[in-house]
Amino acid sequence: MTLKDGQIGHSYVVKDLKLDTQVRRRLEALGLIGGTRIQLLNQNTDGAVVFKVRGTRLAIGNKIAEAIFIEEAAG
């Protein structure tokens, strides 16, 4: 499943980032790496996906969210 497919309020674990190198490195610098736990906070009508990673709220576009693969976090 991708981040765009996630449900608001649920927690997930990042499995893979299928993004070009520049975007992937930027997100990794912000703490979004494989194995990181995230919480989906909002999916705005303008196409932004808002989530929390390592205590920080981030907003990304749908196209990027479709390239971030996640799985449901245990517990």
Length, in residues, of the chain: 75
- Per-residue pLDDT in tens (0 to 9) along the chain, 75 residues: 999 999 999 999 999 999 999 999 999 999 999 999 999 999 987 789 999 999 999 999 999 999 999 999 987
**Residue 35 in 3-state DSSP?**
coil
CB contact set of 32 (below 8 Å; sequence gap of 6+): 14, 17, 38, 53, 58, 68
Record the pTM.
0.92
User: What span, in angstroms and rounded, lies between the C-alpha atoms of 17 and 4?
Assistant: 13
Domain limits, the chain: 3-72
Q: What is the CATH number of domain 3-72?
A: 2.30.30.90
